[in-house]
Structure 1
Amino acid sequence: MNEPLPARTEIAIVGGGPTGLALAVTLASAGVDFVVLDRLAEGANTSRAAVVHARTLEVLDELGASEELVARGLQVTRFAVRDGSRRLLTVPFEALPTPHPYTLMVPQYETESVLLARLRALGGDVHRPYEVTSVVQGEDGVTLTMSTGETLRAAYAVGADGMHSVVREAAGIGFTGDSYAESFVLADVVMDWLPGPAEVSLTFGTTGLTVVAPLPAGHYRVVATVDEAPTAPDLAFVQHLLDERAPGRARVTGLVWSSRFRVHHRVAERYRSGRLFLAGDAAHVHSPAGGQGMNTGIQDAHALGRAFVTGQLDGYEARRRPVAQRVVAFTHRMTRVATTRNPVARGARNLVLPLLGLTRMPNKLATELAELNYR
């Protein structure tokens, strides 16, 4: 069990996921006092996000957490875009101008584990389980009240507490955007997959988008849009889905974990209200196309942490909110192009993408996905 909750701290971080942990490591590295609060008794062991892009690995280099994470992951150097079995475009990562010219495929719980170990090595930890039910700011600080009735006083509070952020609600910050009509299936499986583990496959089809990505230990991540997914997709459902969208290419032999979810594309109207700040999913949510969600959150956290260290808090929103707007717009275009059911639009897409492969566009797409434009 963690140590008792202190009465005061400089920065209260609400949420102990990748964003909150990355912020805590940034602050701990600089000797800034903080408290991380998380409502769960222990970290989630489901994989959820599974992609760590190059820019995030550069940030983790600075935090002393990249080497261990890379050792736990699988390096993939290309994304393949297909319509059925026909390859339309290859997006290469090996030429990226970075020490990490690849996409690292690794379950989110491993990313959290590495960040938590780094935090503990620096003398910090996550206080669990503490559910924050009230956040009230005044001229001289913020009071956070737990479901237990305990309180914590802080000079500042950061909402790294996800889409339904208590901190964002307390700050009165709008979360504008919309949701996609389709539901998304997410499953980690053991299977024989014809393209193999060397690439991430994004497959278009008349019934929806399907992404298959390799993970360590011979597992694969399957993400697919469907009109209405079951609550807990089983092995038979995933096999049928792949038979329909990638016939003859997949034989599923085991189901590790599965879920369904609805996807929104939203950006907070502001990232700061007085002494309250937002980062990660509390500030932006978007389509999983491209796997950029957790990456953008970790980069938010590092930027905000450095802003606290340097005292340049006014620059945080100006630096990071345009990045979220760009990521949301980019992933929304990707999703709409991938999921269109208009036969004319599909035909045009399938004609244009191979032609783009003859230009510098694949390298530009790789740079955008890797978020190297956001340094």
Structure 2
Amino acid sequence: MTARTLPATTRVAIVGAGPTGLALAVTLARAGVDFVLLDKLAEGANTSRAAVVHARTLEVLDDLGASAPLRERGLVVDRFTVRDGRRTLARLSFAGLPTPHPYTLLVPQSETEEVLLARLRELGGEVHRPCEVAAVEQDADGVTLTTATGETLRARYAVGADGMRSAIREAAGIGFTGSSYGQSFVLADVTMDWRPGRDEVSLNFHADGLVVVAPLPHGRYRIVAIVDEAPAAPDAAYVQALLEARAPGQARVTGVVWGSRFRVHHRVADAYRAGRLLLAGDAAHVHSPAGGQGMNTGIQDAYALGRAFAEDRLDTYEARRRPVARRVVAFTDRMTRVATVRSAPARALRNTVLPLLGRLPAFRRNLATELAELDYR
């Protein structure tokens, strides 16, 4: 969209119009709380990036009026399988979980953003683009945001939904404690023949690193793999060789729709609020993509923060959401480390213990509940 003139004042300035910022804007719009949503990009995401929407997030989107159109665009999967090569180590089912959505929804992030933006527009809201925040200053009465073009916006509060390198977090002086994984991650959306089929998300262990294969709409698959050094733009030959090495005889890759590489941190902000500056989503927590928790936790942050604004209980936001982020970061880190053990004795122990645990209904139920984030209500 074309740039729009900023209003002079608002109650809540939201910096960043990804899924977290959009979900916060929708929550505020439904509650009648005045806000301005800013994003430095000229248009929203057009790549898939985050592709998993879990049950708890779908419950939140139910309340926001966005789950039904999102489900129409996505692929419903209720099974999660863990393998080492061709050997199945454990199967988890989301069916039977205590939720209206006993499954995971596979849908590209670009479509999630489109659905949230359409819902925001139904409620009379919009995104101001491109609108990069260059300076943030807070005082006892509010926050002044200055854009790269010199416009200013005065807000009672400002929320950083602007990702790992958050300008709001930096302005607030909030630390971002944690570290990064040594390996890189490769991400690719591909067309392929995949022997396990399109009815499950597959987590594949290997001494060289984890590979996740998840079906997407329109006959595609999402590949996420840990590698020592990922190429900038993985092609079909690279993905085929990767899968052949780690899941031999299971895949025939016919094309790459989109691909990238990235490095992953596991960090949690030291606080979610400093005066009138608040954080949500990747500005507050980042972690391994194992389990697909990142976007889900951010949307849930946004919903909780929006309700806190609407109900004048901002002081409860950090106490409710920061422990969730710490738990998610710890959980995904454990998953990543278990999946990436390289010593033969450790792998043998893991591959012996996991099938035994997988026979226990309580273990399967608890792990499925953790992945679905239903304990975070």
Shorter-normalised TM range: over 0.9
Rounded Cα–Cα distance in structure 2 between residues aligned with 1:3 and 1:358: 58
Aligned position for 1:159: 160
Mark the runs of 5 or more structure 2 residues left unpaired by the alignment: none
Aligned position for 1:5: 6
Aligned position for 1:209: 210
Deviations 1:310-329 (A, max 9, x none): 00000000000000000000
Out of 354, 369, 372, the position equivalent to 2:371 is: 369
Aligned position for 1:267: 268
1:49·1:291 contact (CA, 8 Å) conserved in 2? yes
Deviations 1:285-318 (A, max 9, x none): 0000000000000000000000000000000000
The aligned length equals 375
Rounded Cα–Cα distance in structure 1 between residues aligned with 2:219 and 2:334: 31
What SS is found at the alignment partner of 1:311? coil
Aligned position for 1:348: 349
Q: How far did residue 166 of structure 1 move?
A: 0.1
Q: TM-score scaled by structure 1?
A: 0.99
1:2·1:126 contact (CA, 8 Å) conserved in 2? no
Mark the runs of 5 or more structure 1 residues left unpaired by the alignment: none
Rounded Cα–Cα distance in structure 1 between residues aligned with 2:286 and 2:302: 15
What SS is found at the alignment partner of 2:202? strand
2:82·2:203 contact (CA, 8 Å) conserved in 1? yes
Aligned position for 2:103: 102
Equivalent runs, 1:1-375 vs 2, <5 Å: 1-359=2-360, 360-375=362-377
Q: How far did residue 102 of structure 1 move?
A: 0.1
After the TM superposition, which of the residue ranges 178-187 and 242-251 deviates more from structure 2? Answer: 242-251
2:179·2:266 contact (CA, 8 Å) conserved in 1? yes
2:213·2:224 contact (CA, 8 Å) conserved in 1? yes
Rounded Cα–Cα distance in structure 2 between residues aligned with 1:361 and 1:92: 11
Rounded Cα–Cα distance in structure 1 between residues aligned with 2:60 and 2:349: 38
What SS is found at the alignment partner of 2:72? helix
Rounded Cα–Cα distance in structure 2 between residues aligned with 1:337 and 1:139: 47
Q: How far did residue 95 of structure 1 move?
A: 1.1
Deviations 1:205-247 (A, max 9, x none): 1111000000000000000000001111111111110111111
Residue type of the alignment partner of 2:207: T
What SS is found at the alignment partner of 1:217? coil
Q: What percent of counterpart residues are identical?
A: 74
Rounded Cα–Cα distance in structure 1 between residues aligned with 2:193 and 2:109: 23
Q: TM-score scaled by structure 2?
A: 0.99
2:45·2:113 contact (CA, 8 Å) conserved in 1? no
Q: How far did residue 3 of structure 1 move?
A: 2.9
Rounded Cα–Cα distance in structure 2 between residues aligned with 1:63 and 1:324: 22
Cα RMSD after superposing both structures: 0.6
Rounded Cα–Cα distance in structure 1 between residues aligned with 2:331 and 2:345: 22
Q: How far did residue 2 of structure 1 move?
A: 4.4
Deviations 1:192-215 (A, max 9, x none): 110110000000011110000000
2:232·2:261 contact (CA, 8 Å) conserved in 1? yes
2:45·2:109 contact (CA, 8 Å) conserved in 1? no
Rounded Cα–Cα distance in structure 1 between residues aligned with 2:166 and 2:249: 43
What SS is found at the alignment partner of 1:4? coil
Residue type of the alignment partner of 1:99: P
Rounded Cα–Cα distance in structure 2 between residues aligned with 1:72 and 1:20: 21
Rounded Cα–Cα distance in structure 2 between residues aligned with 1:159 and 1:100: 29
What SS is found at the alignment partner of 2:218? helix
